[in-house]
Amino acid sequence: MPVTFYKSDADLPDFNDYSMDNRTYRYFKGQPLYGFGYGLSYTTFKYDQSKVTGSRATKKISVSVRVTNTGKMVGDEVVQLYFSANDNTMKLPERALRDFKRISLKSGESNVVTFNLVPADLSIADNTGKLKMPKGKIIINVGGCQPGEKTAMDKKP
């Protein structure tokens, strides 16, 4: 889904509050009914063997994960990579979609999906529009929808 479906309108801030706090998948702190990127399928997928190589210092980060079709039908999966960071010096989203890849797998088939990131992929635009690298821990999540219970990894590059 290209939007987040909330469990209740009580999860949303006041209508007169124009800040982004607790709005959209990027800033929502609760558990959605259907998260951004959620999709229905006639099959199921398993994520495992996640691996992160490189670092911010090397200026290249590679993230890979194995995706397996665990159901009985052929199916497509949109593998999504999200980034979040803990930095008290700037306003940051809870999560930000950085890349995605659509794959098609037969029943029982596996595929390793790799994402190659550069420092700009782990940066956030400040109030002036300039990209800044957050300080502190950066978290990478890969899964079939926004980070949550179905997330495959929580790795620190």
- Give the residue-averaged pLDDT of 66-72: 96
CA dist list (Å): 48 to 12, 65, 67, 110, 148: 33, 6, 7, 10, 15
**4: helix, strand or coil:** coil
Q: Which of 65, 27, 58, 78 is nearest to 122 (CA)?
A: 58
What's the pLDDT tens digit per position in 41-61?
A: 789 999 999 999 887 677 788
> What is the CATH architecture assignment of 40-143?
Sandwich (2.60)
Q: Which of 39, 36, 48, 53 is nearest to 102 (CA)?
A: 39
Beta bridge partners of 117: 61
Supply the pTM of this predicted model. 0.73
Supply the DSSP string of 68-118, one letter for each residue.
EE-SSS-EEEEEEEEEEE--TTS---S-EEEEEEEEEE-TT-EEEEEEEE-
Could you tell me which of 101, 102, 104 has the C-alpha nearest to residue 115? Answer: 101
Is the pLDDT assigned to residue 21 strictly greater than 60?
Answer: yes
Can you tell me the mean pLDDT for 98-118? Answer: 95
